[in-house]
């Protein structure tokens, strides 16, 4: 009997994991804060922006299509990104050694949020919290232009940043409402030093643990 209680089934172990969505406008610090979070909470980082940049580097058809949209500040189609995410989650497998996953930059549309909720239910997993990094537009632009000096990202220029902000307001803001309705939304003041912001995020995560 003891053996049985010690060995968790896949569904039981999934339900004990912490799964986090980190959301916020371009330049709000999703990537930066994800790096701190995965270290402290031993989570797996999954950034859809990074997944797309890997496809672009491969130079395949999908990468070319994504590159054209990204450099123009537009989102890639929902079916493309949902497929890429599912592939990544399946590759990690249910028994990956981390305590859970942090999704950075996904979901970005209500369609994607619904697909994610479906994916979670098929895997008997759940999203515990959506962290929304709130940063003023002026600061976002300053941060991205600064990063653009060295990032090599062809969406780190003023013209594309303005389009990305517009797309964020129109297509991604409704995702925040979606998670507010599920009672999983936590807004975090994303202004200040990286350490101050991480402290605020840690408090929010510790409250759900």
**Interface contacts to ligand AP5, rule CB under 6 A:** 24, 26-32, 48-49, 52, 69-70, 74-76, 81, 105-106, 108, 112, 143-144, 146-147, 155, 164, 193-194, 197
C-alpha span between 48 and 120 (Å, rounded): 17
Which one of ligand AP5, Mg ion, none interacts with residue 160, CB within 5 to 8 A by kind? Answer: none
Adjacent-strand bridge partners of 187: 132
Which one of Mg ion, ligand AP5, none interacts with residue 88, CB within 5 to 8 A by kind? Answer: none
Which one of ligand AP5, Mg ion, none interacts with residue 67, CB within 5 to 8 A by kind? Answer: none
User: How deeply is 59 buried, as exposed, middle or buried, from its count of CB atoms within 10 A (0-12, 13-18, 19+)?
Assistant: exposed
**Cβ distance to Mg ion smaller for residue 18 or 52:** 52
| Cβ 108 to ligand AP5 shortest distance, Å | 4
Q: Which two tokens stand for residue 191?
A: 């202004």
**Cβ distance to Mg ion smaller for residue 30 or 88:** 30
C-alpha span between 121 and 136 (Å, rounded): 35
**Cβ distance to Mg ion smaller for residue 28 or 109:** 28
| Cβ 6 to ligand AP5 shortest distance, Å | 38
Contact between residue 136 and residue 191 where contact means Cβ atoms under 8 Å apart: yes
C-alpha span between 176 and 166 (Å, rounded): 15
| Cβ 59 to ligand AP5 shortest distance, Å | 17
| Cβ 95 to Mg ion shortest distance, Å | 28
Binding residues (CB under 5 A) for Mg ion: these are 30-31
| Cβ 95 to ligand AP5 shortest distance, Å | 25
**Cβ distance to ligand AP5 smaller for residue 74 or 124:** 74
Q: Which two tokens stand for residue 19?
A: 């799964």
C-alpha span between 39 and 151 (Å, rounded): 23
**Cβ distance to ligand AP5 smaller for residue 121 or 146:** 146
Q: H/E element holding 124?
A: none
Cβ neighbours of residue 56 closer than 8 Å, sequence gap 6 or more: 63, 64, 66, 67, 70
Q: Reduce the DSSP state of residue 173 to 3 states and report it.
A: helix
């Amino acid at each position: 009997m003891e053996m049985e209680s010690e060995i968790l089934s896949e569904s039981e172990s999934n339900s004990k994991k912490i799964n986090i969505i980190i959301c916020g406008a371009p330049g709000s610090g999703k990537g930066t804060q994800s790096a701190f979070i995965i270290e402290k909470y031993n989570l797996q980082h999954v950034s859809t922006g990074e997944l797309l940049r890997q496809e672009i580097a491969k130079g395949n058809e999908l990468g070319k299509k994504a590159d054209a949209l990204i450099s123009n500040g537009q989102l890639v189609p929902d079916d493309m990104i949902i497929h890429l995410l599912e592939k990544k989650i399946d590759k990690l497998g249910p028994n990956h050694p981390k305590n859970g996953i942090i999704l950075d930059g996904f979901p970005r549309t209500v369609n994607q949020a619904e697909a994610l909720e479906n994916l979670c239910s098929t895997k008997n997993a759940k999203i515990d919290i959506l962290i929304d990094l709130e940063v003023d537009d002026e600061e976002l632009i300053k941060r991205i232009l600064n990063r653009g000096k060295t990032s090599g990202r062809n969406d780190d220029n003023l013209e594309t940043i303005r389009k990305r902000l517009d797309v964020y307001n129109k297509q991604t803001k409704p995702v925040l409402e979606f998670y507010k309705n599920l009672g999983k939304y936590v807004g975090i003041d994303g202004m200040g030093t990286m350490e101050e912001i991480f402290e605020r995020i840690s408090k929010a995560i510790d409250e759900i643990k």
